[in-house]
Amino acid sequence: MGLGMRLWLENSKPKIDPFDPENPLVVANGPISGTMWPTGGNGHTFVSKSPQSFGLGEAKAHGTFGTELKRAGYDAVIFRGKAEKPVYVWIDDDSVQLLDASGLMGKSPGDTEDAIREELGDYYIRVAAIGVAGEKLSRMACIINDRTRAAGRTGLGAVMGSKNLKAIAVRGTHDVTVAKLDEFMEYVKEFHERMKGPATQKYRTLGTPENVLVHNSLSCMPTRNFNNSRFEGAEKVSGECLNEKYLAKIIGCSSCAMRCEHTCVVPEGPYKGTMTRMEYETLWALGPYCGVDRLDAIIKGMELTDYYGMDSISAGVTIGFAMDCYERGILSQKELDGLDAKFGNAEAMVQLVEKIGKREGVGDLLADGAKFAADRIGKDSYKLAATIKGVETTGYDLRCLKTAALGFAVSFRGADHNRHGAYAFDVKGKVNRLIAEKGRGKLVRDMEDVYNLIDSFIVCKFSRGTYYKELPDMAKLYTLVTGFVTTPEELKKAGERIENLAKIINLREGLSRKDDTLPYKVMHDPIPDEGPSKGAFVTQEELDLLLDDYYESRGWTKEGVPTLEKLKELGMDDLIHIIYQ
Amino acid sequence: MVKIHERKFVSADPDKCVGCQVCEYICSLTKEKAFNPLKSRIRVVRINQLINLAVTCRLCEDPPCVAACPRESLTQSEETGLISVDKDKCNGCGWCIEACDYGAIMLHPENKVVYVCDLCKEKGEPQCVKWCPEEALEVTTSDVLAQKARITAVKKLFQEAVKETQKAT
């Protein structure tokens, strides 16, 4: 990820429009890629300017695509310009061609993968593709590989679509090896054992949907577009219920020794036969966030987001926003194409997903996400849009999770739990989650640095618990693979550099302290529900305290700008000119 | 003479296999000192998210690959059933590949001769079986597979009775 960000920075002009042909789209894998390191072989990341945040956009996916790209001989590929007609790129080891994609337009990413394999005559070709949402420049469009693995966040599918690039197909035939093979294999064996243990149990059993009941019991599950923080229908959409009634198989990515992908099938009813992967965030967004308590409809909605190629978190949060607008009379039933889109209407949720995917009717209004929709709707509807830096928030009620609130506010790619994992301090009770206090800045900073490393290696976040000693374990892995002897301290510094690099990019693109903020409701509507979180919200004073503390712990100014001393200390002298004229 | 079939081969359980390719990685490492699924003797097929299976040589009783070779490069061991390839005779024509119903014999991308699972005879046991995180792979015989299939079928036929006995014990 760090490499992708650096390549994007070096190959782009400041303040470029995300849909400008000269906005580069970078795809990169990591140093571990292509090896049999459990979960480490298979990830890849897309980096570009986000059409949602107008700052740094970044999204990762796992599966089989990244490892194939590595075997084809690439650490990173940069896409620039725009094709005259729809094309897909065919990377066959050293041979790279642009091929006609006119016959693929309108297809889902999964069907595109099948069609390309058929056309090129090799069923082991790996494909990352956009769906209709990306073709139609939906700002929540994602890039999907292996049918269900999405580089989901920040709308990079639309950047790909803006280049008339339908898909990236790869075949790699080269060997991959590591610097210290025997020791590496010993370490692989050890991690295979660790992955059978308690550190990964959650992902191998109930999976992330386990969070539904956990978050609900803490009153920290945003429900009905933040009108509530607990959902009376939680039992019906719980991980327990999902696993009992819908789970068909748990499968794994290339080189993984854990397996987490909960493939669910709807056995009966109007959505019978629907099959897709389910995780907490997507379940939450299309479920409780829209007041929907029917898992069959949630699974259908999820399948449709994969079919059209869009970020299912953004889709769900945007639909929750639209439902809130409807209930408050800001959007009429007529404006919603006749849908009685009140909270809890499962069919309306499914139809809205479909409309957004196709940009059809009201779907055109909503296809760019809640922030853009609010800008078009007016009538103070921005107060209902749960976005940070234009990116829809995820399944944590930040009003009562104040360490997480800081993490979300400062996340370089907008609202996100995956840049810091700071919610863990709150949810696990390691801090008083209801108060903002000094010290949270350091907690978030340290987590960010580690997450930057996890995402640059690239190993799966679900495996993070198997690195018992965290940085020392990661340093050992890096050393064995690359042969560059690396200490935990050096690695930590690399993680810090990546965060500073991201900040430099966002500053160059015009983002500042005012963008490190929280959704309106999080800062104005106290949690109404009886229970442990009642009355909680984040005041401006609290946010300022948290930001000051965080910036200070990072060695940044009050405005959130890395100081000269900090950049010199990190050896980033070559980037100083970008923010200091 | 009636004789129990003793030829062992690697078989994947479709209920357990999740398509993770760990077998491919360890196979190519063992045989070729590199991570490269293209050089693995066992290959994973994913039809969709629910249908995953690793496929390798089943040491057929009457192997069509051996019969199909016009150059007599392939031979089957009487004792173990393993197929061995005479690299000097093989010219990579691919008749054996076409003859195999399972895609278990393949043309090496560099050496241009065919290669096939040999149960890691130099290591004493197939490494894919040893490493499979799901214990989906096993070294087994066709007789044992048949026995297990029968037991499963009978258990299903008498589900209630099986539950009763389990309770009792």
Pairs across A and B, CB distance < 8 A = 81
What DSSP string describes A105-143? TT--HHHHHHHHHHHHT-TT-EEEE--HHHHTT-TTB-E
Q: What average pLDDT does range B133-145 have in this prediction?
A: 94
Contact residues, chain A, for B133 at CB < 8 Å: 38, 192, 195-196, 252, 256-259
Domain residue ranges in chain B? 9-142
User: Measured between CA atoms, how close is B24 to chain A, in angstroms?
Assistant: 9
List the structure tokens of A380.
Answer: 């103070």
Q: Which pTM was predicted?
A: 0.95
Fold of B9-142: Alpha-Beta Plaits (3.30.70)
B36 contacts A175? CB cut-off 8 A: yes
Cα separation, A258 vs A366, in Å, equals 37
Residues 6+ apart with CB under 8 A from A55: A49, A389, A412, A413, A414, A505, A506, A509, A510, A511, A515
Q: Nearest-CA residue of chain B relative to A125?
A: B38
Residue B169 confidence (pLDDT) above 80: no
Which residues of chain A form CATH 1.10.599.10?
398-579
Q: What are phi and psi of A2, to 5 degrees?
A: -60, -45
Cα separation, B85 vs B73, in Å, equals 6
What does the pLDDT look like over B84-133, one tens digit per residue? 999 999 999 999 999 999 999 999 999 899 999 999 999 999 999 999 99
Q: What average pLDDT does range B137-150 have in this prediction?
A: 93
The full 3-state SS of A473-509, as one line of letters, equals: HHHHHHHHHHCCCCCHHHHHHHHHHHHHHHHHHHHHC
A147 contacts B49? CB cut-off 8 A: yes
List the structure tokens of A86.
Answer: 């729809």
A257 contacts B133? CB cut-off 8 A: yes
- Look at residues B73, B130, B125, B132 and name the one whose alpha carbon lies nearest to residue B99: B73
Cα separation, A363 vs A359, in Å, equals 5
**What pLDDT does B2 receive?**
64
Contact residues, chain B, for A277 at CB < 8 Å: 49
User: Which ranges of chain B does DSSP label H, i.e. alpha helix?
Assistant: 22-32, 64-68, 95-99, 127-131, 142-157, 159-168
Q: What average pLDDT does range A315-342 have in this prediction?
A: 98
Contact residues, chain B, for A35 at CB < 8 Å: 25, 35
**What pLDDT does A412 receive?**
98
Provide the percentage of residues in chain A whose pLDDT is more than 70: 100
Q: Inter-axis angle of helices A295-308 and A346-358, to 10 degrees?
A: 0
Q: Is residue A260 within 8 angstroms of chain B, CB to CB?
A: no
B52 contacts A175? CB cut-off 8 A: no
β-bridge mates for residue A57, sequence order: A48
Residue A41 confidence (pLDDT) above 90: no
Q: Which residues of B touch A (CB under 8 A)?
A: 18-22, 25-26, 28-29, 32-39, 48-50, 52, 109, 131, 133-134
Cα separation, A211 vs A234, in Å, equals 10
B26 contacts A147? CB cut-off 8 A: no
List the structure tokens of A478.
Answer: 């890096």
What does the pLDDT look like over A231-254, one tens digit per residue? 999 999 999 999 999 999 999 999
Contact residues, chain A, for B39 at CB < 8 Å: 175
Which residues of chain A form CATH 1.10.569.10?
207-392
CATH 1.10.569.10 assigned to domain A207-392? The reply is yes
Helices (H) and strands (E) in chain A, counts: 24, 15
Q: Is residue A263 within 8 angstroms of chain B, CB to CB?
A: yes
Residue A158 confidence (pLDDT) above 70: yes
Cα separation, A61 vs A149, in Å, equals 6
In B28-58, which positions are buried (b, 16+ CB within 10 angstroms) versus exposed (e)?
A: bbbbbebbbbbbbbbbbebeebeebbbbbbb
B33 contacts A249? CB cut-off 8 A: no
Which residues of chain A form CATH 3.60.9.10?
2-171
User: Measured between CA atoms, how close is A31 to chain B, in angstroms?
Assistant: 14
List the structure tokens of A226.
Answer: 């933040």
Q: Which residue has the tokens 């640095």?
A: A449
Q: Is residue A267 within 8 angstroms of chain B, CB to CB?
A: no
- Look at residues B23, B6, B18, B34 and name the one whose alpha carbon lies nearest to residue A261: B18
Q: What is the mean pLDDT of chain B?
A: 93
Q: What average pLDDT does range A30-35 have in this prediction?
A: 95
Q: Which of A194, A249, A265 to mutate to test binding with chain B, by most B CBs within 10 Å of its CB?
A: A249
β-bridge mates for residue A325, sequence order: none
B22 contacts A253? CB cut-off 8 A: no
Q: What average pLDDT does range A3-31 have in this prediction?
A: 97
Q: Which residue has the tokens 């995917």?
A: A357
Please tell me the CATH code under which domain A2-171 is placed: 3.60.9.10
Cα separation, B169 vs B167, in Å, equals 5
A175 contacts B39? CB cut-off 8 A: yes
Cα separation, A408 vs B41, in Å, equals 47
List the structure tokens of A78.
Answer: 């940069």
What does the pLDDT look like over A397-407, one tens digit per residue? 999 999 999 99
Contact A301, A278 (CB under 8 A): no
Sheet architecture: strand order including A95-100: A95-100, A87-92, A165-171, A126-129, A143-145, A149-151
Q: Is residue A247 within 8 angstroms of chain B, CB to CB?
A: no
What does the pLDDT look like over A551-571, one tens digit per residue? 999 999 999 999 999 999 999
Coil, helix or strand at residue A350: helix
Q: Nearest-CA residue of chain A relative to B53?
A: A251
CA geometry: angle at B18 spanning B14 and B20, to 5°? 135
Contact residues, chain A, for B25 at CB < 8 Å: 35-36, 41, 255
Q: What is the DSSP letter of B35?
A: B
Q: What is the DSSP letter of A55?
A: S
What does the pLDDT look like over A479-530, one tens digit per residue? 999 999 999 999 999 999 999 999 999 999 999 999 999 999 999 999 999 9
User: Measured between CA atoms, how close is B6 to chain A, in angstroms?
Assistant: 31
Complex-level ipTM:
0.93
Cα separation, B133 vs B15, in Å, equals 14
Q: Nearest-CA residue of chain A relative to B108?
A: A173
**What pLDDT does A152 receive?**
95
Q: What average pLDDT does range A285-303 have in this prediction?
A: 98
Question: B28 pLDDT band (50/70/90 cuts)?
Answer: very high
B34 contacts A254? CB cut-off 8 A: no
The full 3-state SS of A302-348, as one line of letters, equals: HHHHHHHCECHHHHHHHHHHHHHHHHCCCCCCCCCCCCCCCCCCHHH
Cα separation, A118 vs A129, in Å, equals 15
Question: B70 pLDDT band (50/70/90 cuts)?
Answer: very high
Q: What is the mean pLDDT of chain A?
A: 96
**What pLDDT does B149 receive?**
92
Contact A228, A399 (CB under 8 A): no
Fold of A398-579: 1.10.599
B33 contacts A36? CB cut-off 8 A: no
Q: Is residue A249 within 8 angstroms of chain B, CB to CB?
A: yes
